[in-house]
Each structure stands twice: as C-alpha cells, then as structure tokens.
Amino acid sequence: MGDRILSIRNGDGNPMAVIFLGRFNATLMLESLRGKRMMFVGDSLNRGQYVSMVCLLHRLIPEDKKSMETYNNDALTVFRVKDYNATIEFYWAPFLLESNSDNAVVHRISDRIVRKGSMNKHGRHWKGVDILVFNTYLWWVTGQDMKILKGSFKDVEKEIMQISTEDAYRMAMKSLLRWVTRNLDREKTRVFFTSMSPTHSKGNWGGEAGENCYNQTTPIVDPNYWGSDSRKSIMKVIGEEFSKSEFPITFLNITQLSSYRKDAHTSIYKKQWNPLTTEQLANPASYADCIHWCLPGLQDTWNELLFAKLFHPDLI
C-alpha cells in the first residue's frame, strides 16, 4: 500500500488540511499491539473497518498462530494473534447505547428504540481495552424522530419519548463521553471516533435521475461534493460535544474523502440473505447495496488514517 496525499475537508466542504499518509506498516502495527487489545465498537460499517484491519495484518501471521472466534451470541468477534498475545476485536452496538437492535444477527427493526443512559449495558465489555474505535450514525437516520426509552426494556408499561435525531444523537454522545471519562485510564487507553460513512443510494452528484451506486466505475470529481445523506447537523453535534470532553478522543474524519467514492460500494455483489425476486433481477439497481464498502478498498484508507493518527497523535 503506497504513500499518498490526503485532503481533509470539514462539514462545509472547505479544506482544513492536506496531510501525507505514509505507507501502512503491518509489522509496526502488530508490534504496537503486543500484549494489547484493540476493539472496534459500533455497526456493520465499523465491522467493515475491523475486517479491513484484520486483512491488513493477517498475512504476516502463520496460520497456526492466529484464530477468529465469536462470543455473546455473535456480538463479539475476536481475532487472536497468539505470538503477540494480542487481540483485534469487534463489538456490535449500532447505537452504542442499549437498543432493540442489539441482536448481532437479527436486528432489522424499523421501529427502533434506544434506552436512555444505558451505556454500561455494552460498556462493561469495553473496559480494559487499549485501543477503542467507536462509530455510530446510520442507525439514527430513520427519517423520523427517534424513540427514546426511559426505564427498562423489561418494564411492562414502557415510557417512551420521541425527540429529533440531532437531540437523540447528542444524548448518545454525552453518554459516551461520560462513560469514557469515568471508566477509562487516559494513560492506558487511546480512544478514536469515526465520523459518518456516506451512502450513495440517491444520485445527487449530477448524474442521471434515479441512479445510485450500481454500475458506477469512477469517483465523484467535484471537490466540493457533500452528499445529502451526511447530515452536517450531526457533524455539528459531534464537534460541539467532543470539544467539551475531559477525555482525549481522536476524531477520524472519513466522511468527505469517502463521499467521492460512489464506485467503491459492494453494490450487487454483497451476500444476499433472501432470494432475489424476478423484479429485482430485472432491475439490479433496486437491490444494490450502496451503504457498505468493498474490501480491499476504501476502508483500508480509513485504517491508514487510523494508523497515522495512532503513531502521529499530533497529526491535524
């Protein structure tokens, strides 16, 4: 993976910095993980970044010196590197807070409910980790107000309030920052937060009406392009809350650089969990996955940025 120059832009599309990303050094990364745990926490997009990291490293490890196992009903996936006494892990928590979408296998729920003040439900699995990489965004964007549970999912009569996506997301960010401050040692644990991953389900980049990522073979060339699916209001919430954090959190801003890559999605090549209908087969764009990313691919670049910030913490 060669050296490259990366332009970082803010939520308004304005350039913030141009940085030089050195070559990803798998040997150095493995050595830095010796005796440590690295964990990605979030949704399937963070799982993609987790898989990318494992793929970048595993070729250096003999087959009998590595293993992959799942725990907690598949909520936790652990890649173990025996000679280094190291693990790279993924923990499924699409909202970070407890929700009715916490089943790592069966979670396609349209009526999503998030429990207020419940970070400890999942957070107990994150204690003792040396490098934490969080993400959460797409599950909050339903097109409707978010349903927030006050109390417990076990309550017979549930008290549920509805608030805007931005207010609900702010609640989650406050809970996350409060949890890391109370439960992590800043001298021991590095914490990263990955910004929203853009989708290309609607062709608002100047192409033909109704097109999406299907059959796209080139990136978007407009340097000021910002997809309508990436809410600047959410970026604003992140900026406002993280600026108040007592615990140092490194922000991985992958949104703008990923927005250009309408050609990098899994599209029609993802695993289909249900048989495709005749109508879908006749119109491939109708079932193209324009959310997730191909590997090898874009998420390797996310990990190059993570690698750079891990070893050069003063970078941007």
- Residue 289 annotated as catalytic: yes
DSSP per residue, 127-190: TT-SEEEE---GGG--SSPEEEEES-TT-SS-EEEEE-HHHHHHHHHHHHHHHHHHH--TTT-E
Specify whether the CB–CB gap between 300 and 54 falls below 8 A: no
pLDDT surpassing 50 at residue 100: yes
Report the pLDDT averaged over residues 277-287.
95
Helix (H) or strand (E) holding 178: helix 165-183
pLDDT value for 11: 47
Q: Where are the domains of the chain?
A: 4-312
Q: Which of 43, 44, 195, 197 is catalytic?
A: 44
Q: Which of 122, 200, 265, 292 is catalytic?
A: 292
Three-state DSSP class for residue 76 = strand
Q: Give the pair of three-digit tokens for residue 309.
A: 């910030």
Q: Give the pair of three-digit tokens for residue 185.
A: 């040692």
pLDDT in tens, 149-205: 999 999 999 999 999 999 999 999 999 999 999 999 999 999 999 999 999 998 889
Q: Which of 43, 102, 229, 289 is catalytic?
A: 289
pLDDT surpassing 60 at residue 264: yes
Instruction: Kindly indicate the confidence band of residue 18, based on its pLDDT and cuts at 50, 70 and 90.
Output: low
Report the pLDDT averaged over residues 23-35.
95
The single residue listed with the structure tokens 């490259």 is 4
Name the residue among 172, 164, 232 with its Cα closest to residue 41: 172
Specify whether the CB–CB gap between 217 and 263 falls below 8 A: yes
pLDDT averaged over the chain? 92
Fold held by 4-312: Rossmann fold (3.40.50)
Report the pLDDT averaged over residues 82-106.
97
